[in-house]
Structure 1
């Protein structure tokens, strides 16, 4: 089974006719037969599905599944998980693209490092002002498997941002722990990534730029900003998950730090005074909890 390792690439699509070809071209340029490409169409009203169908005609690794109702990227990703057969899942947005040889690099590292629970790599964000490179927050353990038990858990979530595109997730852990994406328009990767990280025993950081995230597209899946209630909802469900699995005490400090960071990111451009007042109150309460954590150590 391990000799037949397969990565399931899951792509949620919605009105992506201007970008889906670029996305798929970058993936099919990787020649490995050990992958499947699963496109989940979220009821597009443009030519997205026709473009995907044209790729299917020349590449048997691609499959498309059409949802019956338009919802959001999180729900589409859940549909993709239900269809996927791979040992690892890579969630790629239809607006984005990957580097040449990226899949081969991932497959080689999976085998070389004996199937780590989580794989992380840098990504480059494309903005109207140019490029921004995003990487792991500590590069001390580049290209080696790091055991979670050897880390200070109070900073564990701060190791990497919650975005899913620059990570490979082990399907077995997702299904065993019943981890899912929340069906919300924004922040649906917060719960998924942090809950998943809480189940892992190790991770591998590959210091090679494999992913390009395009923020210049008007209907980009990642452009829903300012929906601060989704951030609160995501973190509340994450807290409930940690409590339910009797690990909240272990992850409490890193959870609170992450919560604070998520809110800062979501509300930094908010102009409404009500939102800013609410943010100030929530940050105050989180800081109190962090101080209590420090005093109780």
Structure 2
């Protein structure tokens, strides 16, 4: 990849206004992030050069994929993509508030870093694209949000951004390197299906039996596989998803905090307010007054 990341891809169609755009000479990483409302949606296509691409979607309605094979991207999800040969790629954004951060290393920088053998090992013999999608770790979501708010005129914030996006990139590479056997793939699919069920009904009083039944496995297997896939217990995942949804509602709606608490599954407004402040460092009222603080 050249040192002019803005000119790397042949793009057609509307593009989002970038909240952050940076090229890290230290790590050979391109960083691009968008944070804005889309009232009319957006579609774009590009020739995706060989390289590794990792994105964290904090919120929004987006889809991307090889031309003709676009797939929706999950909220609070991480997507990793390795491309061996340049590929036509399409992306779309629906009518929504979007927050997404992308980190990329193209083949020239992969070679410059001495990682070409490791890059080649990501692919099966006849494979041109290797891809995964999973729930992003809590750490990656916080790092992506912080990166989107970075002031690139401040050298200390640039250092912090580069450290954060390197962590995100390495987490994505680890996901790409994980070789999925059939049983593991079925288990991962069941967990992703469960995460969709949870996201669709956060107000439900979920029990461990409910979660295990939705995933189609025993409670013990669910706990073990959940920790392996997401790095936390099922209930920690549920709590985090409730709080992330609540944060969006606090920032983007006029709903009362009691109504938000009920919608996302907290028993009382007081319980919700305490949990919100513990997670985000501010009360719901303070966050609503200045969500970008």
Q: What's the TM-score once normalised by structure 2's chain length? A: 0.28
Q: What's the TM-score once normalised by structure 1's chain length? A: 0.28
Kindly indicate whether structure 1 or structure 2 has the higher relative contact order, using CA contacts under 8 Å at least 6 residues apart: 1
Which has a greater percent of strand? 2
